[in-house]
Structure 1
């Protein structure tokens, strides 16, 4: 008996189909080219440099880029050939069985992993580098290694090749459509358009906008309990993002959960920057926080307010507390909770890699006309910090496999970018991240008041994420050594977002507490007690212990029931303005 190999010869219908696919692809490319060429100078370009000048030949620029990529791929292929084996590693980029069913692709996979380990290891072995230079090289090398993964290219991804054969190229056509749409939008799509809508399936906690300025709206949420804590709570979310990270779906909403615990809750919704607020500064954001506190105090007739500051708004909250202390008005704030907030930026992590003179010059150029930084630039920067998960994963899924990304509320929020006042953003990066001025007593003035964080005696709850890549836990910890009032520090499992947005019902992650005084984070961890699940119950217990008195949830405790009449329903229009 002889083995026979059957070869399927493409028929005329197959060739016609492929010709049609290529024609449609060419048409899509030309239409996109015509649509986007005229506005190239206004697009953030996924954080990459734009052509050197408006007079430069775009075709020449693109050809040069393609040639560089081609040479890079050739060199990479040669490097892969030098390494044939590597230890088995779990990596979801190579999770499909096609990577192991073929000896060729299995070798490609293992060789790539071996090369990756070798390159990353070499960074640690180079002599003569200071830590700053080594961090920059480590970040750049990791970015290069992730970008050159064989999973990112059709010719070296067996799953993509199989899909291409099975669909007769329709996946590539769908992927091209996705890619051109993303180029037009100026950002990678992480969640399908139309899957989520504010007020419909996101940010649905009932409430009213009761106050607004040119910089923020103040939302008052409707009580769900007969009695509420007498001392209300004001949340200051980051102005670089939309506030509804804390009010996603009802199951994940920190806002809804907190209201259900019997808290009179107010949320600040920052306006996405336009030219009307292009010149706002740190003084304005501190003044806005003070104004919100005063409005709430006056509305409810209370002497003080609990506060929460998330990320950069937590940094500003620290400045606000120091400002109030400097004016003798610290009693306006009953407590301060800090979600992943830094004030000492000496060890601020990978974001410090984006603070060079060239970055500042680019930011200045991007904001020179309008004074506003397009939010897509900031989003691209954050995506680069997790390039494997937030860039290349979607290159493969959306562009090569031709899939639409699955609906995901958190990633919808991540792509709902916010424009920033350009001057204030550069000032924030320069004075806080680069020069670390906030932690220096009197280093910064706010409305003429020297800011000294060591004067803050307000009770504080400080939460950090163990795996936070934006506000590293070691950096957040430093706040405990600066504040002079009673402090409770909690280290939560996961990172900058999931470490915060972790509802108790989910039963995910864990957190660590230590009732003994610890001089360092390592000492805290060494003596810490681990508790499974969300840290939210620990926080609400701390808050209620500080000020346990309750009042009936009537009158001004109901949105619109006091002297401030409703302007519109939550979540308001500011959060919907791009």
Structure 2
């Protein structure tokens, strides 16, 4: 039986959406410079125009590749199935029509990327050209259109086309929300902070204007003498390490007999506009270190992720300069950069024009909004975070599945204007942490070479934010132990031993080239978590103390700051 089209419901939803669109207004500033984009593409085009011989070779190779494509298509050769999740349905391999569409698209995409790769434009311009090309190629994938996606064709037959009607209603609603398209990557009602996610029992035990400090309740009679303190990045809430219980790094550490503290950053508003990198280092990390030591009687082991790790490195150098290095027992940086010379495609956004436009934008509102940051991160992984949702939400009309990691990803936070200005210019653009005295915090010169604290650096092999090779170079510069985990920037961190996934690589020495390190590294199955806690044991005193009960909590975890909108 063909389902009835829900025209009545759709009409009402479109009317409500139209009213919202009329009420909305455009922002007066943009966080990027359109002219810089035009300049970058023009620079790449000029570089290519000056290399006619190379272009001729590419065209000759392309002609041969298309001849091979048509020969395979007309002869019915199936070939090897590509490892591309967009084309996972059986029809993409078994049906000649869909297979030919897929193979033509993939071949044309690779040829265009080869052409752009010929240019010798500046790193920023070349990265911007690659980024724009990838956005175009991702958008025109045959998987994104009803007429060329076999799963959508089957869904249309099943519903009589109702999926497209409902999908169009979803599109209008999302546009009208003012947040843009694809806001339903996961079911927002599937989790509740403090109950089903970020739910490991604990208490906020300290707070100031920048952070709350959470201490987790022990589950063992004895605990390691040295406490752990987690420093998260600013862009998302801390609880990536405290997702659902079976994936929670916090719960696992507590159950392993560790006293765990985490910093939960405030979601900044206009009143935090002038809080810079130095404020987050001194008023944030250093103050938290002191509070943890006061409560436990021991210098903490720090562990951190992404931008949080960069801030930890700065904090360690600041403490060293102050003669206070012994306030930290060890430090672990996960997916963190301290040398920004190699940012891969992220260098597209480290451009004078973009930075100037962003600074005007920040001046107008006092912070970068979490939605703007989410859009940027989603664009860098458009197939996973944008187009898969377009297909499911707008073409297939499928409910968004529950995902604790995507729930966390969408629970973003703002970043103050002063912080982002300094971070972008001093660290990303000018790479001042590479200089012995290039960066300062409150008049204290930051020299990473003075850090004597035992350090471990963990990179993730498929990391799209912090390329593992760049993280490895930072480990060599800091003379830190190095571990390479499997999977990507976020998923590679959440690797509970019970899941037995991803694997990791280790090697005692550190040759200059990252690829040389990997070629001689030993691969281990399962999670890197136990390997890391073994390292913590070797850095610690080996002493066990009575579990530290919390008697003076301010409020239950996850605390007000993690709940702020």
One fold, TM greater than 0.5?
A: yes
Pick one of 3, 10, 13 that aligns with 1:28.
13
CA displacement, residues 57-104 of structure 1 (integer Å, 9 cap, x when unaligned): xxxxxxxxxxxxxxxxxxxxxxxx997567554233233345467654
State the secondary structure of the residue aligned to 1:393.
Answer: helix
Contact in 1 for aligned 2:484/2:506 (Cα 8 Å):
yes
CA displacement, residues 191-239 of structure 1 (integer Å, 9 cap, x when unaligned): 0120011111111111100101111000011111111111111110111
Question: Structure 1 residues 117, 482: CA separation in 2 closer, same or farther (over 3 Å shift)?
Answer: closer
Measured in 1, the distance between the counterparts of 2:258 and 2:553 equals: 20
Pick one of 500, 503, 524 that aligns with 2:493.
500
Measured in 2, the distance between the counterparts of 1:336 and 1:148 equals: 45
Gaps of 5+ in 1: 1-12, 50-80
TM-score (norm 2): 0.86
> Which stretch shows the higher mean deviation, 195-204 or 475-484?
475-484
1:342 aligns with 2:337: yes
Residue 280 of structure 2: aligned partner: 285
Structure 1 residue 353 displacement after superposition: 1.1
RMSD: 2.6
1:146 aligns with 2:138: yes
Pick one of 238, 243, 267 that aligns with 1:272.
267
CA displacement, residues 344-386 of structure 1 (integer Å, 9 cap, x when unaligned): 0001222221122343244234433330211011111111111
Measured in 2, the distance between the counterparts of 1:559 and 1:228 equals: 14
Residue 569 of structure 1: aligned partner: 556
1:167 aligns with 2:148: no
Structure 1 residue 48 displacement after superposition: 11
Residue 135 of structure 1: aligned partner: 127
Structure 1 residue 525 displacement after superposition: 1.7
1:455-534 mapped onto 2 (5 Å cutoff): 455-483=450-478, 487-534=480-527
Measured in 1, the distance between the counterparts of 2:121 and 2:356 equals: 26
Measured in 2, the distance between the counterparts of 1:531 and 1:232 equals: 27
Question: Structure 1 residues 501, 419: CA separation in 2 closer, same or farther (over 3 Å shift)?
Answer: same
Residue 74 of structure 1: aligned partner: none
Contact in 1 for aligned 2:33/2:357 (Cα 8 Å):
no
Contact in 1 for aligned 2:32/2:355 (Cα 8 Å):
no
Measured in 2, the distance between the counterparts of 1:528 and 1:100 equals: 36
Contact in 1 for aligned 2:30/2:358 (Cα 8 Å):
no
- The alignment covers a number of residue pairs equal to 522
1:38 aligns with 2:23: yes
Structure 1 residue 262 displacement after superposition: 1.2
Question: Structure 1 residues 508, 100: CA separation in 2 closer, same or farther (over 3 Å shift)?
Answer: closer
Question: Structure 1 residues 194, 113: CA separation in 2 closer, same or farther (over 3 Å shift)?
Answer: same
Measured in 2, the distance between the counterparts of 1:483 and 1:103 equals: 54
Pick one of 531, 538, 548 that aligns with 2:541.
548
Structure 1 residue 153 displacement after superposition: 1.8
Contact in 1 for aligned 2:138/2:382 (Cα 8 Å):
yes
Structure 1 residue 174 displacement after superposition: 2.3
Contact in 2 for aligned 1:209/1:568 (Cα 8 Å):
yes
State the secondary structure of the residue aligned to 2:438.
Answer: coil
Contact in 1 for aligned 2:128/2:349 (Cα 8 Å):
no
Structure 1 residue 442 displacement after superposition: 1.1
Residue 346 of structure 2: aligned partner: 351
Residue 531 of structure 2: aligned partner: 538
Question: Structure 1 residues 294, 101: CA separation in 2 closer, same or farther (over 3 Å shift)?
Answer: closer
CA displacement, residues 422-452 of structure 1 (integer Å, 9 cap, x when unaligned): 2311321111111101221111110110000
Contact in 2 for aligned 1:363/1:422 (Cα 8 Å):
no
Structure 1 residue 248 displacement after superposition: 0.5
State the secondary structure of the residue aligned to 2:329.
Answer: strand
CA displacement, residues 277-313 of structure 1 (integer Å, 9 cap, x when unaligned): 12110111111100001111112223x2111121101
CA displacement, residues 112-148 of structure 1 (integer Å, 9 cap, x when unaligned): 2222222223223x35545554333333222211111
Contact in 2 for aligned 1:467/1:473 (Cα 8 Å):
yes
1:190 aligns with 2:175: no
Measured in 2, the distance between the counterparts of 1:511 and 1:156 equals: 39
Measured in 1, the distance between the counterparts of 2:514 and 2:489 equals: 17
Question: Structure 1 residues 44, 31: CA separation in 2 closer, same or farther (over 3 Å shift)?
Answer: farther
Gaps of 5+ in 2: 35-65, 74-78
Question: Structure 1 residues 180, 368: CA separation in 2 closer, same or farther (over 3 Å shift)?
Answer: farther
1:85-96 mapped onto 2 (5 Å cutoff): 88-90=80-82, 91-96=84-89
Question: Structure 1 residues 88, 131: CA separation in 2 closer, same or farther (over 3 Å shift)?
Answer: farther
Measured in 2, the distance between the counterparts of 1:106 and 1:519 equals: 43
Residue 263 of structure 1: aligned partner: 258
Measured in 2, the distance between the counterparts of 1:558 and 1:298 equals: 15
Measured in 2, the distance between the counterparts of 1:196 and 1:102 equals: 40
TM-score (norm 1): 0.85
Residue 60 of structure 1: aligned partner: none
Structure 1 residue 45 displacement after superposition: 10
